[in-house]
């Protein structure tokens, strides 16, 4: 078939999980009822969700326009393209990037390395939609993040990039969490007596979003980018009069917080702000969710 030569086989495209695919391009369900996932239509502007995906059938239906079908039917409407163009883009893994299932972990093998192709101003609609889902204002994200284009395993991808102190990148998208070498924390030094400590950059951006009326230079900041860097950063942290911890509410984060509190009374646990959430960004993202989504 021509499609098999020029793009993803149409039979494979139809098998892509639609809930995962919509998440990849920046759309999350407003509510879930059994196997039915309800969205505010990606195909038009609306306030009340009327776009449904039946996950068992892996098919969608937009009640507002009276149309439905499989992922291919959706893609040609959403991207205003031909079937061949959609299949080619799905296979290329770029602009119409499909959800990546079973990506190999970065373990040092050359074929699994992340190679950065370029970084650009944040402008991708999919990435901006993802930031919106996480309740991160675009103007704040634009100061600290870039639109990263990278290659892994011979395929090209894109994501939100956050640079560390050694020039490596933390990369996030709706379907991928990873980093390029070298791995390191990211610090912002403003000669403050207080330092704010975060595990990941989404939590850092959440803090800035929640405190946007406070001058940025009021504090020093460190994004560990991995909890494993905490011990190596103690000299920097303990050079401050106060170290405020905004670590995750999982086992690793709680253990690190407990360890830090046992070291010195200059450490404080500020995770009480989001004690019912997994991390600070989850707390921020919960604002405005319908009650049944909390």
Please tell me the pTM assigned to this model: 0.63
Q: Please report, for the domain that includes residue 281, its CATH number.
A: 3.40.1360.10
pLDDT digits (tens, 9 = 90+) for 133-147: 999 999 999 999 999
CB contact at 8 A, 207 and 198: yes
Structure confidence at residue 26 (pLDDT): 61
CB contact at 8 A, 151 and 114: yes
Q: Is residue 254 exposed (0-12), middle (13-18) or buried (19+ Cβ within 10 Å)?
A: middle
Sheet architecture: strand order including 267-269: 186-188, 220-223, 194-198, 242-246, 267-269
Distance of CA 28 to the CA centre of its chain: 12
* DSSP string across 184-206: --EEE----SEEEEESSHHHHHH
Structural domain count, the chain: 3
Q: Residue 287 phi/psi, 5° resolution?
A: -65, 125
* Whether pLDDT at 223 is above 60: yes
CB contact at 8 A, 210 and 252: no
Q: Is residue 119 part of a domain?
A: yes
Q: pLDDT band at residue 114, thresholds of 50, 70 and 90?
A: confident
pLDDT digits (tens, 9 = 90+) for 240-257: 999 999 999 988 899 999
Q: Please report, for the domain that includes residue 15, its CATH number.
A: 3.90.580.10
Q: List, in order, residues 6 or more apart from 171 with CB less than 8 Å away.
A: 114, 148, 150, 159, 160, 161, 162, 177, 178, 179, 180
Alpha-carbon separation of residue 113 from 3, 140, 155 (angstroms) = 30, 29, 11
Q: Across all residues in the chain, what is the average pLDDT?
A: 84
Residues in the chain: 294
* Whether pLDDT at 102 is above 70: no
* Whether pLDDT at 78 is above 60: yes
Q: Is residue 294 part of a domain?
A: no
For residues 68 and 90, give the distance between their C-alpha atoms in angstroms, rounded to a whole number: 20
Q: Is residue 97 part of a domain?
A: no
* Whether pLDDT at 34 is above 70: yes
Q: Is residue 153 part of a domain?
A: yes
Which residue, among 119, 235, 231, 121, has the nearest Cα to 180 in the 3D structure?
A: 119
Structure confidence at residue 7 (pLDDT): 61
Which residues are registered as beta bridge partners of 161?
146, 171
Answer yes or no: do 75 and 9 share one domain.
yes
Task: Tell me whether the omega of the peptide bond preceding residue 287 falls within 30 degrees of 0, making it cis.
Answer: no
Residue finishing a domain among 38, 62, 92: 92
Alpha-carbon separation of residue 200 from 84, 103, 203, 222, 287 (angstroms) = 39, 21, 6, 9, 20
Answer yes or no: do 191 and 215 share one domain.
yes
Q: Is residue 98 part of a domain?
A: no
Answer yes or no: do 119 and 191 share one domain.
no
Q: Is residue 291 part of a domain?
A: no
Alpha-carbon separation of residue 159 from 18, 52, 123, 145, 169 (angstroms) = 20, 27, 11, 10, 10
* Whether pLDDT at 163 is above 50: yes
- Over its C-alpha atoms, the chain yields an Rg (Å, rounded) of 21
If you average pLDDT over each of 13-27, 44-58, 62-76, 102-116, which comes out highest?
62-76
Boundaries of domain holding 223: 186-285
């Amino acid at each position: 078939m021509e499609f098999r030569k020029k793009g993803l086989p149409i039979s494979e495209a139809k098998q892509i999980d639609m809930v995962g695919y919509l998440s990849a391009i920046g759309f999350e369900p407003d509510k879930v009822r059994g196997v039915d996932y309800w969205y505010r239509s990606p195909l038009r502007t609306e306030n009340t969700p009327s776009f449904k995906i039946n996950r068992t059938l892996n098919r969608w239906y937009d009640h507002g326009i009276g149309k439905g079908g499989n992922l291919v039917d959706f893609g040609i409407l959403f991207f205003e393209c031909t079937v061949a163009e959609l299949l080619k883009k799905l296979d290329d893994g770029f602009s119409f990037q499909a959800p990546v299932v079973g990506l190999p972990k970065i373990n040092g093998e050359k074929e699994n390395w992340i190679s950065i192709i370029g970084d650009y101003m944040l402008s991708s609609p999919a990435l901006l939609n993802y930031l919106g889902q996480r309740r991160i204002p675009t103007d704040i994200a634009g100061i600290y993040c870039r639109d990263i284009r990278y290659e892994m395993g011979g395929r090209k991808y894109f994501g939100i990039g956050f640079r560390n102190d050694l020039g490596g990148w933390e990369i996030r998208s709706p379907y991928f969490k990873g980093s390029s070498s070298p791995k390191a924390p990211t610090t912002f030094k403003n000669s403050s007596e207080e330092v704010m400590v975060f595990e990941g950059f989404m939590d850092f951006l959440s803090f800035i979003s929640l405190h946007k009326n406070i001058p940025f230079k009021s504090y020093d900041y460190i994004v560990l980018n991995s909890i494993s860097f905490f011990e190596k950063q103690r000299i920097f942290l303990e050079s401050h009069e106060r170290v405020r911890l905004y670590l995750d509410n999982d086992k690793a984060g709680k253990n690190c917080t407990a360890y830090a509190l046992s070291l010195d009374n200059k450490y404080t646990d500020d995770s009480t702000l989001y004690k019912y959430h997994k991390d600070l960004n989850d707390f921020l993202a919960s604002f405005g969710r319908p009650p049944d989504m909390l």
